[in-house]
Amino acid sequence: MFHAQVLTLFPEFFVSPLSCSIPKRAIEADLVHVDCIQIRDFSTGKHHKVDDNPYGGGPGMVMKPEPLVATIREARRRDADTHVVMLTPAGVPFTQNKALEYVEKQHLTLLCGRYEGFDERICDYVDEQLSVGDYVLSGGEAAALCVLDAVIRLLPGVLGSPESAVLDSFSEEGILDWPHYTRPEEFEGKKVPSELLSGNHAEIERWRREQSRLRSQQRRDKL
Ligand code: SAM
């Protein structure tokens, strides 16, 4: 079973997304187990403070190293094999290949930041820094959900048809999925491409591959 741990100040963030659709089914089928660990529980002191002013001045607060390191140590204590990933816009880009890499590892811990981010010294306590894209979220939780969702749907047995994941965008590096259509055959004057109605499997396959190639070339400058 895949074991994920999420280190966060907002465990409640994960309740709804993990209790519907594919993640819900994967959890119920014991294909994945997700534990949230509350960072604030590892902050000593009366007020359980987790942030402080930045050295050098400037706006915003910085996440203090002590509770973060204590939380990471707890995650490693609970799962000695876990791979600890810090979520940060400055990390390596998250890709489908990265998701496959995490599936192989079977043990993943996602560290979610808030405020202006982490005290830089935390970098020495994690295995990797990961970004979900070149934009800034208010917290690492939404990024952790992206990662969890992408990983969960790749776990063997999670998708109804294992073919789905194999045929998705990026299953081949940089290649986007082809366009999909369903009934009706004509909608507001827009027709389903005739190739898909031909019943000729070789022709359908050829059309789909060509559409994938064109899209990848036009939208991702691939090929
Ligand atoms: N001051 C930081 C910067 O400019 O890079 C942004 C901090 S952001 C408001 C708070 C937290 O959200 C970060 O510590 C990180 O955990 C998470 N976060 C925001 N954008 C992210 C992204 N693109 N990828 C991964 N995590 C992100």
- Lining ligand 1 with CB less than 6 A are 87-90, 112-114, 116-118, 131-133, 135-140, 143
Q: Please state the pTM of the whole predicted model.
A: 0.96
What tokens appear for 15 in the block?
A: 């309740």
Both tokens assigned to 42: 């590892």
Residue having the nearest C-alpha atom to atom 6 of ligand 1: 116
Query: 2-152: which CATH number, 3.40.190.10, 3.40.1280.10, 3.30.390.10, 3.90.1150.140?
Result: 3.40.1280.10
Residues 6+ apart with CB under 8 A from 47: none
Distance 114 CA to ligand 1 centre (A): 7
Q: How high is the mean pLDDT of the chain?
A: 96
AA letter at 71: T
With beta carbons less than 8 A apart as the criterion, state whether 50 and 116 touch.
Answer: no
* Ligand 1 site-directed mutation target among 7, 8, 87, most atoms within 8 Å of CB: 87
- Taking only the tens place, the pLDDT of each residue in 109-131 is 999 999 999 999 999 999 999 99
Q: Which CATH architecture has domain 167-219?
A: Orthogonal Bundle (1.10)
State the catalytic residues. 89, 116, 153, 168
Mean pLDDT per block of 10 residues along the chain (223 residues) reads: 98 98 98 98 94 98 98 98 99 98 98 98 98 98 98 96 78 90 98 98 98 95 64
Annotated domain spans of the chain: 2-152, 167-219
Which atom in ligand 1 lies closest to the alpha carbon of residue 135?
Answer: 23
Amino acid, res. 168: D
Q: What is the dihedral of CA 47, 84, 151, 147, to 10 degrees?
A: 50
pLDDT at position 169 is 83
Q: How far apart are CA 139 and CA 116, in angstroms?
A: 9
55 has which bridge partners? none
Predicted local distance difference test score (pLDDT) of residue 222: 58
